[in-house]
């Protein structure tokens, strides 16, 4: 009788790690009244949308500047002239944010890294650990916590939508719950630096100060000059 094979730990059942990385950006089209509503006031819906567009362009510029097999914008809305060449666009699926994130990962083959549009200070250096040749040798997931309790980045060696479904989004404990979901699944999780999301005017000022050469910082400075904020 052939003996049963030795069980394989969960962290070794995740498939190949030498496949090209898919970079995902999940975002809303920068339409006034639909994005960055917490910036209003002091900014008008049109000004908030311009800041959102700048943040999105900064994020896509970084995605284009780093190595990846695919670069995909998972978009709620229609693309506009702000969309650069070299980025695929796919629509977000229906449902809450957890379902939309799950759907984005579910469409990927091989390792994938997802970032949002709320951290225009993101840079190639911040993403470098996930892009290194040995990035997945000692990790099954990469997690970028946000200062507000959420997360700004999530990388999975073998994307599994069930790792995201049911995680309560937009709460002070979203990041902790999501990270716990990963470790409970037996994944080895490595962390990226904590970043501050842009949700409020105070966030916008703080983020622009840490990334003064971004398009986001330039747009914020332009609005300050125009409106004397």
Would you state the structure tokens that stand for residue 93, as one six-digit string?
Answer: 């699926």
DSSP 127: H
The tokens for 138 are 């000692």
**Angle in degrees, CA 171, 174, 178, rounded to 5:** 165
For the chain, how many residues are written? 229
What total of structural domains would you count in the chain? Answer: 1
Letter string b/e over residues 120-158, b meaning 16 or more CB atoms within 10 A of that residue's CB: bbbbeebbebbeeeebbeebbbbbbbbebebbbbbbbbb
The pLDDT of residue 182 is above 60? yes
In sequence order, what DSSP letters do the residues of 100-111 get, joined into one string? HHHHHHHT--S-
Domain holding 46: CATH number? 3.90.550.10
In a domain, 43, yes or no: yes
The answer to whether the predicted template modeling score (pTM) of the entire model surpasses 0.85 is yes
Asked whether residue 84 is domain-assigned, the answer is: yes
- Whether residue 199 is contained in a domain is answered as yes
State the Cα–Cα distance between residues 166 and 9, nearest whole angstrom.
Answer: 25
The single-letter DSSP state of residue 66 is S
Instruction: Give the residue with greater pLDDT, 225 vs 13.
Output: 225
Domain contains 11: no
Residue 209 in domain: yes
Q: Structural domain of residue 62, as residue ranges?
A: 16-227
pLDDT digits (tens, 9 = 90+) for 113-124: 999 999 999 999
Q: What pLDDT digit, counting tens, does each position of 84-121 carry?
A: 999 999 999 999 999 999 999 999 999 999 999 999 99
Q: At what angle do helices 45-65 and 215-227 cross, to 10 degrees?
A: 160
Would you state the pLDDT for residue 53? 98
- pLDDT tens string 34-49: 999 999 999 999 999 9
Residue 26 scores a pLDDT above 50 = yes
Kindly report, residue by residue over 186-213, the tens digit of the pLDDT: 999 999 999 999 999 999 999 999 999 9
């Amino acid at each position: 009788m052939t003996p049963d094979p030795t069980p394989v730990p969960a962290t070794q059942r995740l498939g190949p790690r030498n496949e090209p990385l898919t970079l995902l950006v999940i975002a809303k089209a920068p339409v006034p009244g639909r994005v960055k509503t917490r910036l209003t006031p002091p900014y008008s819906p049109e000004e908030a949308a311009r800041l959102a567009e700048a943040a999105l362009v900064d994020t896509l510029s970084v995605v284009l500047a780093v190595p990846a097999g695919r670069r995909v914008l998972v978009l709620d809305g229609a693309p506009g002239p702000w969309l650069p060449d070299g980025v695929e666009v796919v629509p977000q699926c229906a449902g809450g944010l957890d379902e939309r994130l799950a759907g984005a990962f579910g469409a990927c083959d091989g390792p994938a890294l997802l970032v949002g549009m709320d951290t225009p200070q993101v840079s190639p250096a911040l993403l470098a650990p996930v892009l290194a040749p040995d990035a997945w040798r000692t990790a099954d997931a990469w997690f970028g916590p946000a200062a507000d309790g959420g997360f700004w980045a999530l990388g999975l060696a073998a994307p599994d939508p069930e790792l995201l479904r049911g995680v309560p989004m937009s709460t002070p404990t979203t990041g902790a719950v999501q990270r716990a979901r990963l470790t409970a699944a037996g994944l080895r999780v490595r962390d990226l630096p904590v970043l501050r999301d842009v949700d409020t005017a105070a966030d916008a000022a703080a983020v622009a100060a840490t990334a003064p050469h971004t398009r986001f910082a330039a747009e914020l400075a332009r609005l300050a000059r125009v409106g004397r904020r």
